[in-house]
Amino acid sequence: MLSSLERAHFTVILVGARNPGNIGAAARAMHDLGFTDLRVVNDFAPPFEAAQLAAQAIDSDTSDAGPNTVLDATVLDAATKSAVHSAHVLQSARRYDALEPALEGCTLVVGTTAIGEREVRLPILPLKDVVPQMIEALRALAAEAKNTADEEPAPKRVALLFGSEKTGLTNEQLSHCQLLTTIPMYAPVDEHGRMLRHLSMNLGQSVAVCLYELTREGFEGSREMPYVNDTAADFADRERMTALLDSVMRATDYTRRYPHNSSIEEVRALATQLASGHHRAMTWMGILRQVLRQLKAAQPDTVRDHREEK
């Protein structure tokens, strides 16, 4: 699992993103998966500003973008819906007019692209094959930073590039990358073997998938999940459960209609499965007792009480 120091050397760069909702979604994915350094390359400022304002409005529990904003309300609303809890990522993000300045300090640059018709100079590797190389580079940078902490060098980074929603990264932009990767996707074809649609994922979704894959190793076990600390059911629990289950089966006439499923061996086996722990056994016994009470109330003259003796 990536450490906090290793994550601090990772950068997401959005090139030409025009939809503020996608910028907000990318920032949300970064926040959820532990990354903070976002760079946006766009000579058109409003989408980036809209995403920043939307995140700030959400985190301050207000929809007011401020008196000085001239952003279209629909643009701001699109960003607002996707930027929950990501204000700190967007407020610290930097915007560049060109890609080259955004890449300053990046030792490894990985470009993302859909597999299309154009030719590129590097092989396009599946995401799972690129992730180990990014992790190795991040760990090397973190180790280097520890060894040179007193010298305060300019931070070096691993960058993951994403292109615009409409065209993706251009060949010129991809030429800055040492590695190219793609997210494997379902590719339907017609009877002639031709793809029925262009394989391209939404920008915000792409960022989330890539960052999840980058952090997936060890992440599942990084925190304890809540659970009921149940003790084992004992012999008495299982026998009471068996007796109650048998009572319900008799009271509902199940034993007469399905005698082959009603032997004491079958009932005890089922009771043992249900009573996997003491708490679960007590819950099931409470349910079965309530069933018997309801049956007796509805049919007092015909339903016998077959509960176990206490």
pLDDT by residue (tens digit) across 292-305? 999 988 876 655 55
Asked whether residue 251 carries a pLDDT value surpassing 80, the answer given is yes
Higher pLDDT, 71 or 281: 281
Specify the 3-state DSSP secondary structure of 181: strand
Q: How confident is the model at residue 191 (pLDDT cuts 50, 70, 90)?
A: confident
Q: How confident is the model at residue 308 (pLDDT cuts 50, 70, 90)?
A: very low
Across 126-137, average pLDDT:
95
pLDDT value, residue 51: 63
Helix ranges (H only) for 180-299 are 203-215, 235-251, 254-257, 264-274, 278-298
Across 243-267, average pLDDT:
91
Cα angle, residue 141 at apex, residues 135 and 146 outer, rounded to 5°: 125
Across 178-207, average pLDDT:
82
pLDDT value, residue 219: 56
Asked whether residue 287 carries a pLDDT value surpassing 90, the answer given is yes
Q: Which of 75, 33, 46, 16 is nearest to 219 (CA)?
A: 33
Across 24-35, average pLDDT:
92
Burial environment of residue 262 by CB neighbours within 10 A (0 to 12, 13 to 18, 19 or more): middle
Across 246-251, average pLDDT:
92
> Helix, strand, coil % (nearest 5) of the chain?
45, 10, 40
Asked whether residue 73 carries a pLDDT value surpassing 60, the answer given is no
N-term to C-term CA, the chain: 54
Specify the 3-state DSSP secondary structure of 192: coil
pLDDT value, residue 84: 72
CB contact set of 38 (below 8 Å; sequence gap of 6+): 11, 12, 13, 14, 26, 27, 30, 89, 90, 92, 93, 94
Position 126, amino acid:
P
Across 276-282, average pLDDT:
89
pTM over 0.75: no
Q: Please state, rounded to an integer, the average pLDDT across all residues of the chain.
A: 81
